[in-house]
Structure 1
């Protein structure tokens, strides 16, 4: 019986609804494969024929195997943990015509039409007040159920819908969260997050939250020859890099996998491919 890499991919994507969750799923994968976690803030004691990984600010990761002589050669593959999506803005609450909506921003090269009339959810990180101002508590959060949607107009309200419609992201891509109810405060999204994090609303400092399609990937086609799933770009490459590194025995040289964040918006953050983090780690 051959190993089911497709089902592995679908499971990996399902557990990776944000870049932060992708890194956590990657860490879990490498832990099971016997890799040792390292920290950027501590000195390293590397052994020949070892297997290690370094998280990059929670949304990126670099993993590597050391051979008997790391100076012999360098083999490197790279992918990115982010994907086109919508991100929730600060103070996003909008009450309009009896509905609750969230102010969101397009992140990356989004196919706008494909996000309409789908069950959507939220995942990412929330920063909470910690023991002091320099140590906030970072929570990994996933709503884990469909709580949003971006409805399109019925065709009798837009007779030219089949001729192509230009969607304004500031007006037409704002997710609908619920019905406006009198008992809800003007900070209903903050109330939702505090309930999810089991904390007081005033303890929430900030967040980085991704809107994602709440649907599982699947095989399709007469002979199951196709795969349909959200986030195939670029989580397919992320898992391929991890699998290649984990299933390849250590050899002379250095085998490296670099999983960067923010490729969709230019790669110029501290965990992006255009940063100094990879050259520094290789050095």
Structure 2
């Protein structure tokens, strides 16, 4: 594998690995204080948080794993369960392996859907949940806006899955609406983008992990989790949404925040990847909520 795929921004902190029942997970850690564990979505990795972590790590312990969602470098065993429930167990196992308590889980894009499953089914180590421009009960999974449903359709067969991603060899495709163009308002740094696309282009074992993950997603998982969250999750919840999100509707975020009794905060001048488009504003929203100075509705 080329160095592009393995590159992680040094601002994410030191790199380590932990061996879980489902396989090894590579993660990055910076700072001290209350633990924030970040859950990225499909076909990105810890680099999605590279601008946000240095803004929070003076007050918080920021832990940014590479989850096995197609842009990672350490494959899991071929028998690993990478369905939504399997990924949720993996995340819960990670928290247990690091003996983390009173964790705030921060999930973006489909990472927010996985985070909802963790909070609904494995809440013991959580004190808070941040849903950052992600699936709500009124979304499909994959979401229909942007044409992301094609990802699941192509994953039905290894050949179509492999063929679909070959276009990502060319930088001009990175701004297409059904790649990253409707997720990030502004172009993503080339080094970060290469770390996202090179594994799925060049490695069959990584493609297998990603294909298993995307082929099994369904809105029934996120909708079931939403019902359980409303009824059973006792931690605090924040909905932090890009004000111009083109994939996950802000109106749905408002409905969901009301359903959960959660705070809703919008992040101006941003699509789904708020930590990419507006890291300073995202950090301000998180800090205000985490330290209790956010008194708004």
TM-score (norm 2): 0.27
| RCO comparison, higher one (Cα < 8 Å, 6+) | 1
Which protein shows a greater Rg?
1
Greater percentage in helix: 2
